[in-house]
Amino acid sequence: GENVEQHPSTLSVQEGDSAVIKCTYSDSASNYFPWYKQELGKRPQLIIDIRSNVGEKKDQRIAVTLNKTAKHFSLHITETQPEDSAVYFCAEPDNAGGTSYGKLTFGQGTILTVHP
Amino acid sequence: EAQVTQNPRYLITVTGKKLTVTCSQNMNHEYMSWYRQDPGLGLRQIYYSMNVEVTDKGDVPEGYKVSRKEKRNFPLILESPSPNQTSLYFCASSLSAYYNEQFFGPGTRLTVL
């Protein structure tokens, strides 16, 4: 199976600051990297994803960057707002041999708190 | 409305009493999966299904069973629940296994006494 390490486990920032969460993966064949956001008491929801044929993808205040050489991808949130407070998860599908086997491994999660 | 539903949302039971958590999606998704969420451990995959009659183990399958007789339904069965299965459970579905957004159900909070 895959091994996904996510850091930090908690992150506290002031409103307006930037936040960065990093995930490291083990399978060099992996080529799809999603990020999910889970608000308190709610279900996880996809906020952004990236495929390995691009190095960066942006959607308003959030962006994901991918470094395939170092095998890590990061979530960047700029101009943070209190409503960004949530748990964020990275994920990596199993891609053994280039064929999807259906397994999906999530990182351990990062609790982001944005202070007003 | 496109959605994934789970039932029950909350369940308190006792050790050894068989239970089933239902999961249903109305999006004609091929892929369905079950996860458990525990503090500090993130979301761990229990079982997944690539399509009807095709199921496979995730990272933590022990003590669970699943079936996929119809495309829309993917029930999770605990034949003999134990206290270490106390957790928050999420069902999810996606168009296919790869490159696709996972749509999660609302979650089922299970307590095994």
Angle in degrees, CA B58, B33, A26, rounded to 5: 45
**Predicted local distance difference test score (pLDDT) of residue B38:** 95
Residue in B1, B2, B24, B9 with CA at minimum distance from that of residue B107: B9
What's the confidence (pLDDT) of residue A1? 47
Per-residue pLDDT, A82: 97
Substitution target in A21, A38, A89, A103 with the highest count of B β-carbons within 10 Å is: A103
CB-CB neighbors (< 8 A) of B96 in chain A? 100
Query: Is residue A51 less than 8 Å (CB to CB) from chain B?
Result: yes
* E strands in chain B: 4-7, 10-13, 19-25, 31-38, 42-51, 54-57, 65-66, 76-78, 87-94, 103-104, 108-112
Interface touch B104/A44, C-beta < 8 Å: yes
Above 50 in pLDDT, residue A75?
yes
Query: Is A51 in Cβ contact with B106 (below 8 Å)?
Result: no
What is the per-residue pLDDT for A96?
Answer: 54
Low-confidence residues in chain B, pLDDT < 70: none
pLDDT at A54: 83
| Identity of the residue in B42, B99, B102 whose CB atom sits nearest the CB atom of A107 | B42
Give the pLDDT score at A15: 97
Give B43's strand partners: B37
Which tens digit of pLDDT belongs to each residue from A11-62? Answer: 999 999 999 999 999 888 888 899 999 999 999 999 999 988 888 999 999 9
Q: What pLDDT is recorded for position B85?
A: 98
Using the predicted structure, report yes or no on whether residue A2 has a pLDDT greater than 70: no
Closest CA to A80 of A20, A17, A35: A17
Which residue in chain A is spatially nearest to B41 when comparing CA positions? A108
pLDDT, residue B76, reads 98
Closest CB to B42 among A1, A89, A93? A89
Chain A's closest residue to B97, CA to CA, is A102
Residue A102: which of B41, B50, B104 has the nearest Cβ? B50
Q: For chain B, what is the radius of gyration of the CA atoms?
A: 13
